[in-house]
Amino acid sequence: MLERPLAEKMRPNSLDEVIGHDKITGKDGILRKIINSKKPTSLIFWGPAGIGKTTLARILANELNANFIELSAVTAKKQDVIDVIKQARINWNLNIRTILFVDEIHRFNKAQQDSFLPHVESGLITLIGATTENPSFEVIPPMSSDAKIIILLAINLGSSPASNILAR
């Protein structure tokens, strides 16, 4: 029997389990407000690699009962984008939200980023992008102005009890 990797076992499954991002996950944090409102909004997570961008996107989708589709801008092809839109339309007809997570969104060129805009603007998909680069320069203006940009800073474990992590 295959075991899940340690990183997967340790990955938080809810906002309450996230350590180190209290300003956005806490009681008055933007992610908590999005979940409580039940109204997903497009986001761009900006921060260093390994900070939890993908995990936060998965938690949001799970908490909002949305279908989570993940693409990497490094490897995604045109057909992948077409397939995502097809699936989102199927979900829409079933009254299921679609959250599209694009890792390294800054790697998509302008035309690729433009291809998502009508679907984001119509509400067919909620886009969550992740980037290590400044979105003001790397994400097209219509997308960065429609999405809320959330800056994720490196976590100082000295300020969070290590026992919270080890308890998992």
Residue scoring higher pLDDT (38 or 9)? 38
Evaluate if pTM is beyond 0.85.
Answer: yes
SS (H, E, C) 12-36: CCCHHHCCCCHHHHCCCCHHHHHHH
Residues 6+ apart with CB under 8 A from 47: 53, 132, 151, 152, 153, 154
Local confidence band at 3 (pLDDT 50, 70, 90 cut-offs): confident
Count of Cβ atoms closer than 10 Å to residue 147 Cβ: 21
Encode pLDDT of 97-145 as tens digits: 999 999 999 999 999 999 999 999 999 999 999 999 999 999 999 988 8
What CA–CA distance (Å, rounded) separates 25 from 28? Answer: 8
Full set of structural domains in the chain with CATH = 10-166 (3.40.50.300)
- Residue, of 155 and 147, whose pLDDT is higher: 147
Percent of the chain with pLDDT over 70: 92
At residue 1, the pLDDT reads 67
Whether pLDDT at 54 is above 60:
yes
Which pLDDT score, from 0 to 100, does residue 160 have? 54
- Report the chain's mean pLDDT, rounded to a whole number: 90
| Whether the Cβ atoms of residue 60 and residue 36 lie closer than 8 Å to each other | no
What is the mean predicted confidence (pLDDT) over 36-57? Answer: 95
Q: Can you state the angle between helices 110-121 and 78-93, rounded to 10 degrees?
A: 10
Tell me the β-bridge partners of 151: 46
Residue 146 has what pLDDT?
86
Name every residue whose Cβ is closer than 8 Å to that of residue 138 and which is 6 or more positions away in sequence: 105, 106, 131
* Secondary-structure breakdown of the chain: helix, strand, coil percentages, each rounded to the nearest 5: 50, 15, 35
Token duo for residue 14:
């809810």
